[in-house]
Structure 1
């Protein structure tokens, strides 16, 4: 695990987009979806996220566990935040805030999470 400047990832995405002619936001989304499984595997067995029963629980635990742990490891880190506005059994409304303009990576991570829990989700983004 390490700390990397997000600008390096942005440069890679921009260059890959130029070469492949795939829009950068689609590349970010695909990256998020694919990396979800790797991130899940990297969790310690005792992590509270491993006790999640569905996509919504997991997303809540990301804010409660992962972002807290990131701050412990990297005190100067500014992880994204989730502001949960409303939630029911079938709908979660939240604000995702990040200084890194990586909302499409988050979008992909949520898609990867839904696949992991075998749940169909409809995700809407507004800016």
Structure 2
């Protein structure tokens, strides 16, 4: 209330809003409004994460803490934390993973061969040829 008492109503409003770059928070807020539920707690905006990284790049040890003075790991609030649940299995995608026994490799000349093919022609250099070049 101290902010409001000093006429900082816009700053207070800014602190309490869901930011547009908080993608998960924005989506959750929209879903809550559409479904008539209470608006959930917003997440960490991307701009704040960028600010923390910029301060860390300057050599500052930035630690974000909660109201109980416990450190907060910003990785816990990333947009990708639900992606593991969204991944589809191989059967859902309709593809099979190749066994490593069936893998084919290209050699330097672009010739495709089996990985177990051991009778390749290898170039063998004659040591005498290199010694003759060094003496000249």
TM-score using structure 2 length: 0.22
Higher-strand-fraction structure:
1
Relative contact order (alpha carbons < 8 A, sep ≥ 6): 1 or 2 greater?
A: 1
Q: Which has the larger radius of gyration?
A: 2
Higher-helix-fraction structure:
1
TM-score using structure 1 length: 0.23
